């Protein structure tokens, strides 16, 4: 049960995709834009965290947000209320964002004058990890209710993460979630990932991730 057509097709698509991703990263670097790809399961708190980060950073940087969704515009409505430049991308059933989709969205948003672009990927802990979007960094969320074992079961997602935010820590006791186990499971997949623990709803721990992102934005600006 090791090889199926679908895997071979995917390999072909991803290799083409990776070539184009490098080009996007080059363009972004030239324009000094930090592009963050946010990936996670459905309902892990991506939009809530993005909204909290926007509130804290939108007065200091020119920020744009690309909301990817299969069908609805729920998240774009939430985000645009903050007065941040927002684009809703409908994937028409697709479970991930390819490089081409990512670049089309960047152009439709207008990225060249921005400091910081956030892509909220489709809620999916599997497929988006296979497609490099051309982002400067990948932020992966793991929400407490999902369980501390998830990095064991979804290896690639945690392998491609530059930063992991464990979200909804305010309910850790209700769900018998062990932070140390979670951290070890993440590190097992990816030693280099920076890990933050936070609750966006309770506004607890977000400042550490904010600091990390501010440093990253400044690094890109001054490169």
Phi, psi values for residue 58, rounded to 5°: -70, -20
Q: Does 37 bind a copy of itself (CB under 8 A)?
A: no
Q: Does 152 bind a copy of itself (CB under 8 A)?
A: yes
Distance CA 124, CA 217 (A): 26
Structure tokens at 158: 């945690």
- CB-based contacts of 80: which residues, under 8 Å, 6+ apart? 86
Could you tell me the maximum CA-CA distance found in the chain, to the nearest angstrom? 53
- CB-based contacts of 204: which residues, under 8 Å, 6+ apart? 169, 170, 198
Tell which residue, 136, 192, 194, has the closest CA to residue 166. Answer: 194
Which residues, numbered 52-91, are part of the site for a copy of itself (CB under 8 A)? Answer: 69-72, 74, 89-90
Considering the complex, what minimum distance in angstroms separates the CB of residue 1 from a copy of itself?
Answer: 6
Q: Show the site string, 114-143: x = touches a copy of itself by CB under 8 A, - = not.
A: --------xxxxxx--x------------x
Residue closer to a copy of itself by CB (options 5, 222) is 5
Which residues, numbered 10-29, are part of the site for a copy of itself (CB under 8 A)? Answer: 13
The residues that touch a copy of itself, with contacts defined as CB under 8 A, are 1-7, 9, 13, 41-43, 69-72, 74, 89-90, 92-95, 98, 100-101, 104-105, 122-127, 130, 143, 145-147, 149-150, 152-156, 168, 171, 174-175
């Amino acid at each position: 049960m090791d090889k199926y057509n679908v895997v071979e097709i995917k390999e072909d698509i991803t290799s083409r995709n990776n070539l184009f991703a490098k080009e996007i990263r080059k363009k972004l670097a030239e324009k000094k834009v930090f592009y963050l790809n946010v990936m996670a399961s459905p309902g892990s708190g991506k939009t809530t965290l993005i909204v909290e980060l926007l509130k804290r950073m939108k007065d200091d940087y020119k920020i744009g947000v690309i909301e990817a969704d299969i069908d609805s515009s729920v998240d774009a409505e939430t985000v645009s209320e903050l007065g941040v430049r927002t684009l809703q991308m409908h994937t028409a059933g697709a479970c991930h964002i390819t490089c081409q989709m990512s670049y089309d969205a960047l152009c439709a948003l207008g990225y060249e004058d921005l400091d910081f672009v956030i892509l909220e990927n489709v809620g999916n802990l599997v497929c988006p990890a296979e497609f490099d979007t051309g982002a400067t960094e990948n932020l992966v969320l793991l929400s407490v209710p999902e369980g501390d074992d998830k990095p064991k079961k979804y290896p690639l997602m945690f392998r491609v993460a530059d930063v992991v935010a464990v979200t909804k820590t305010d309910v850790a006791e209700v769900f018998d979630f062990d932070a140390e186990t979670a951290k070890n499971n993440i590190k097992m997949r990816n030693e280099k990932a920076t890990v933050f623990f936070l609750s966006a709803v309770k506004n607890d721990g977000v400042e550490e991730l904010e600091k990390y992102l501010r440093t990253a934005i400044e690094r890109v600006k001054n490169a």
